[in-house]
Structure 1
Amino acid sequence: MSAIAFAVALGVGVVAPAIPLLSKHFGLDAAAAGLIVSSFSLVRLIFGPLGGGLADRMGERCTLIVGLVVVALSSLLAGLSANFSQLLVFRAVGGIGSALFTVAATVLVIRAASAHVRGRAMGMYHAGFMAGGIAGPAAGGAVLAMSLRAPFFLYAGIIAIAILIAVLALRRSGSAAPQAAGTSEDPGARGVGEGGEAQESSAEAQTTELRFSEAFRSPSYVSALASNLTLGFTIVGMRSVLVPLLLTSMGTGPQWIGAALGTLAAVEVIVIYPAGHLTDTVGRRFGVLTGSLLCAIGMAALIWVPNPVMVIADMVVLGIGSAFLSTAPGALAADALQGRGGRMVAGFQMPNDLGVVLGPLTVGLLVDHGSFGLAFAVGAGSLVVCGSLALRIQPDVPSASRK
């Protein structure tokens, strides 16, 4: 799954530099390019429940492959688009495929990993995404010299490789078969879960369908949802706009923006596996609290940073914190869900997509009608709220991790 995640993120990074340039080629401004990016995320959010339902009915392997095929075809058609409207539609259709892939892939990771290694499993999975995200823009910039449309064709080719990996690597995956309503094949579905919440026995879990009303009574699941929303809103959504704007206001060039965001991504890749290990051995609550606290400190510090060098130094703190928030919530949700239901996993993923959609919009309003300080303060405050919800979870770890 890490290899597939790397290929998908690499492709996304490849087309990122091409979108604004192709929009300009069609005679439109930067706002049009932003609309293309937002439409992809918005469609992903809307079709998240569809991905969960298909994973339950068709099986995760089939849903994952269908999602990747949709992404590949949409990218190919986007590269062939004759005008902006076609480009917008084809990129939006790619969001549907991304929704199917993301939900199915997350269910596969959750079901493949037992409780005492879930943090590390989620870390490896997200590390694939981040590594691909780092390499993608560089590759995209290189092929742009050939043609404005070349990155879209390259993206389709990369996804074709991901499809081949999925077909070969998952052909014997027992957890990839269609799941009867409410069954559980989670190898880690035994014992006592995070926060001392009584976990159902394996036999009982296999005959019980977990509903949203039940899941929302779990402090673990609620904390996981809040963490994922905050990760998308603050760490992903806000930093993608705030940090470049802040550095630009300091009179720096594009190289400083690249250095800052590159430092954050590199630190997150380096730290994410150790963060997952600590989440497994010390506890899920520790992971969420550590990530929320470090990110809140990093976000608040940006209110007072005097120069770009200090901004880059602050990216180290944010990178470490976001590594914990990329691993602990997924492990926490998996503990609460006990491997049951693609719809429940989709429900966990959707807050992140919502945060990515709302984050940049909120930042623009806060900066235009307030200040950078106000925007960073709102980000830090949301992280504090996220951490406070994790305090409801008792400090416990899966019993297998103590052996």
Structure 2
Amino acid sequence: MTSHSSASPTAKKSLWILLSVVVIDLIGFGIVIPILPFYAEAYGATAFQLGLLVTSFAGMQFLMAPVWGRISDRMGRRPVILVTIAGTSLALLIFGLADSLLWLFVGRILGGVFGANISVATAYITDLTGEEDRTRWMGMIGASFGVGFILGPAIGGLLSPYGYHVPILLAAGMAAVNFLYAAANLREPERREAVTVGIISATRSYALSRFVRRMTVLYFLFTFGVSQLETMFGFFMLKRFGYEAWDLAWLLVVMAVVMAGIQGGAIRSLSRRFGEYRLLMTGSAVLAVACAAIPFMPTVAVLLIPLVFSSVGRGIAQPSMLSLVSSATTEKNRGTVMGGFQSGASLARVLGPMAAGALFEVEAWGPFVTAGVMMLLVLSVAAGLDLASIKADPTPAPEAQPG
């Protein structure tokens, strides 16, 4: 398809199948979120060990996102998606059946290895969409996160009284069913020509793209800021308002509903009217103010105001970034570029939680104000983007193949 055309009916069917696969995958991920601290504590984990558990997952995602992206460029999107879903099921099974802290780490490390597949999903979308509707489908990926964070925590909270392992094993079973569904229905997207570019040349092409480099830095700052909110919000609610895990789960659901509504519906019309760049700037500005305001709200009712606005800001900024960077790819380097781009976010999720914990120990408002500062830095980097350079770089020459 041309870069400006809309997705064909066949492509749209494939995209909806992909989204259903991603949603099921993310529901399983969301199930673990509200119970992870309690599950780790049951095996004697200290606060520092809990931080390492979170970091081990994000760290492996950081390392594996470009690897899976490059493999998908060479071998296809579908095989990588299938392998990572199957691996996720295995990782959750190990995590749910763990009888020691060591096996918890094994499960989360494997979960990070196989959970680094969102870059492949975004490359799949870019393969099948043109500029006209790409932002909409990138927004749908964001909405999939929203659905995962709506249903996942609710399911995890509902089943946790029966044992923390129960919702985790359910997530493992969902991943297994998801693998069977994807194997039966997901098709490889059509691309104009086979990918024969070597990994060194493709990686060099990514590194030399000034626009993509800036976008990766921007996404790192954005995700570092968001991770401050995500990591310490539950602990803040516990200390400030005496919230329990069940209360926290439903508050997270409210935030996710708002974000899913933005990314799943409004983002397409907004992007057509204002463009991705303006949405990126506006969303980041809204998020900066909202994050910084959260710790200073006197009641939960008043706190809902900046929480809702933080979801709105994230809902319009994040898919706009994904759409902008995807515009700077070719069919031959798309997986590599999106993998490298997502690795910036994964690195932020390694460093962000550790920084959030240290800041919270100093001042409870520290992580939230830091999140606001990160969004101001996002605005600063975004202001220096050369929008005229948003075009696919020339594809590097193929490397010699052995034999």
Q: If the length of structure 1 is used for normalisation, what is the TM-score?
A: 0.82
Separation in structure 1 between the aligned mates of residue 284 and residue 203 of structure 2, nearest angstrom: 32
Separation in structure 1 between the aligned mates of residue 343 and residue 293 of structure 2, nearest angstrom: 29
RMSD: 2.9
Report the counterpart of residue 26 of structure 1 in structure 2.
43
Separation in structure 1 between the aligned mates of residue 113 and residue 192 of structure 2, nearest angstrom: 20
User: Is the 1:103–1:345 Cα contact (8 Å) retained in structure 2?
Assistant: yes
Give 1:229 shift: 1.5
User: Is the 2:281–2:379 Cα contact (8 Å) retained in structure 1?
Assistant: yes
Amino acid at match of 1:301: A
Q: What pairs with 1:320-399 in structure 2 (closer than 5 Å)?
A: 320-341=312-333, 342-369=335-362, 371-393=363-385
Give 1:389 shift: 2.1
Cα deviation digits, residues 247-276 of structure 1 (max 9, x gap): 344334336644543332221111113124
Gaps of 5+ in 1: 184-206, 399-403
| 2:246 is the alignment partner of 1:244 | no
- Going from structure 1 to structure 2, the CA distance change for 1:313 and 1:48 (only over 3 Å counts) comes to same
Report the counterpart of residue 130 of structure 2 in structure 1.
114
Give 1:175 shift: 4.3
| 2:263 is the alignment partner of 1:268 | no
Cα deviation digits, residues 93-118 of structure 1 (max 9, x gap): 1211112x222212101212211111
- Going from structure 1 to structure 2, the CA distance change for 1:348 and 1:146 (only over 3 Å counts) comes to same
- Going from structure 1 to structure 2, the CA distance change for 1:52 and 1:178 (only over 3 Å counts) comes to farther
Give me the identity figure in percent.
24
Cα deviation digits, residues 181-204 of structure 1 (max 9, x gap): 289xxxxxxxxxxxxxxxxxxxxx
| 2:68 is the alignment partner of 1:77 | no
| 2:139 is the alignment partner of 1:149 | no
Amino acid at match of 1:37: V
- Going from structure 1 to structure 2, the CA distance change for 1:146 and 1:176 (only over 3 Å counts) comes to farther
Separation in structure 1 between the aligned mates of residue 328 and residue 132 of structure 2, nearest angstrom: 14
- Going from structure 1 to structure 2, the CA distance change for 1:169 and 1:296 (only over 3 Å counts) comes to same
Amino acid at match of 2:370: V
Give 1:85 shift: 0.9
Separation in structure 1 between the aligned mates of residue 192 and residue 65 of structure 2, nearest angstrom: 18
User: Is the 1:65–1:166 Cα contact (8 Å) retained in structure 2?
Assistant: yes
User: Is the 1:108–1:175 Cα contact (8 Å) retained in structure 2?
Assistant: no
User: Is the 2:55–2:353 Cα contact (8 Å) retained in structure 1?
Assistant: no
| 2:310 is the alignment partner of 1:293 | no
Count of residues paired in the alignment: 370
Give 1:61 shift: 0.9
Report the counterpart of residue 190 of structure 2 in structure 1.
174
User: Is the 1:276–1:324 Cα contact (8 Å) retained in structure 2?
Assistant: no
Report the counterpart of residue 153 of structure 2 in structure 1.
137
Report the counterpart of residue 216 of structure 2 in structure 1.
225
Match of 2:141 among 125, 132, 139: 125
- Going from structure 1 to structure 2, the CA distance change for 1:280 and 1:337 (only over 3 Å counts) comes to farther
Q: Tell which deviates more after alignment, 262-271 or 319-328.
A: 262-271
Report the counterpart of residue 189 of structure 1 in structure 2.
none
Match of 2:206 among 188, 194, 212: 212
Gaps of 5+ in 2: 1-17, 391-403
Amino acid at match of 1:356: R
SS at match of 1:174: coil
Separation in structure 2 between the aligned mates of residue 140 and residue 389 of structure 1, nearest angstrom: 38
Match of 1:319 among 290, 303, 311: 311
Give 1:144 shift: 3.4
Report the counterpart of residue 234 of structure 1 in structure 2.
225
SS at match of 2:195: coil
Cα deviation digits, residues 204-224 of structure 1 (max 9, x gap): xxx999702331x22xx2453
- Going from structure 1 to structure 2, the CA distance change for 1:126 and 1:143 (only over 3 Å counts) comes to same
Q: Tell which deviates more after alignment, 329-338 or 34-43.
A: 34-43
Report the counterpart of residue 13 of structure 2 in structure 1.
none
SS at match of 1:181: coil
Give 1:334 shift: 0.7
- Going from structure 1 to structure 2, the CA distance change for 1:125 and 1:226 (only over 3 Å counts) comes to same
Report the counterpart of residue 160 of structure 1 in structure 2.
176
Amino acid at match of 1:48: A
Cα deviation digits, residues 339-390 of structure 1 (max 9, x gap): 4422211111011111222222112222323x24443332212111211222
- Going from structure 1 to structure 2, the CA distance change for 1:12 and 1:213 (only over 3 Å counts) comes to closer
Match of 1:56 among 57, 73, 92: 73
Q: What pairs with 1:175-214 in structure 2 (closer than 5 Å)?
A: 175=191, 179-181=195-197, 211-214=205-208
Cα deviation digits, residues 7-64 of structure 1 (max 9, x gap): 1111112233443444344344454444322211111112222212211221111111
Give 1:234 shift: 1.4
Separation in structure 2 between the aligned mates of residue 334 and residue 105 of structure 1, nearest angstrom: 12
Separation in structure 2 between the aligned mates of residue 159 and residue 178 of structure 1, nearest angstrom: 30
SS at match of 1:75: helix
User: Is the 1:119–1:276 Cα contact (8 Å) retained in structure 2?
Assistant: yes
- Going from structure 1 to structure 2, the CA distance change for 1:348 and 1:312 (only over 3 Å counts) comes to same
- Going from structure 1 to structure 2, the CA distance change for 1:293 and 1:339 (only over 3 Å counts) comes to farther
- Going from structure 1 to structure 2, the CA distance change for 1:303 and 1:72 (only over 3 Å counts) comes to closer
